[in-house]
Amino acid sequence: MMNSGKAKFKRTSLDRFLNILIMGIVLFLIAMCLICTILCGVWEWTTGRWFTDYLPWDDIVPNRHQHGSQQIAVISFLMFFSYVILLNTVVPISLYVSVEIIRFIHSLWINYDQEMYYENGENSVPARAHTTTLNEELGQVQYVFSDKTGTLTRNIMTFNKCTINGICYGNVFDARGEAVEIGP
């Protein structure tokens, strides 16, 4: 029963980056609201009491006709949520929707690209994007697997060859160490 556990929910590197970015923006929003709340409390303590005749405090404020630290604390607490409502547009919620639309369009491009296919003798297998999230992980190399044959004693790893978009980079060497040309 080795694989009887719950399947791990896989997230792409872009999703992880966006989550960290959004968390940072939310922390920035909270910091802005706290700074504005503190400044509001300072203003209420120093200057705001002169305006209570013209702009009276709400009924929520206890002893609203007096001017003290309890009233300032209640007003500052209420103003924190007012600042959250005012500044919430800093958090880009539509960013997730935009990223999902872009992923969907990329999947369509992969499905309809006539040059993305695998030649298998008589058959050509076209590229199919079965999920929209894995397209962005294409081409991002995290691990390089190499053959250690003959390199255990010398510990030399050299780049030999790779093919990108049908163009060969690097050379292939024979057993004597001479470059071998591979042509079409």
- Give the separation between CA 169 and CA 42, rounded to whole angstroms: 67
Query: Is-catalytic flag, 53?
Result: no
> Which of the following is catalytic: 53, 58, 59, 147?
147
Taking only the tens of pLDDT, the chain with its 184 residues reads: 566 677 777 778 888 899 999 999 999 999 999 999 999 889 888 887 777 777 666 666 666 556 677 778 888 888 899 999 999 999 998 998 999 999 999 889 988 888 888 777 777 788 888 888 877 777 777 776 666 565 555 666 666 677 777 777 777 666 666 766 665 5
pTM for the model? 0.64
* Among 30, 13, 16, 35, residue whose Cα is nearest residue 91: 30
> Which of helix, strand or coil describes residue 72?
helix
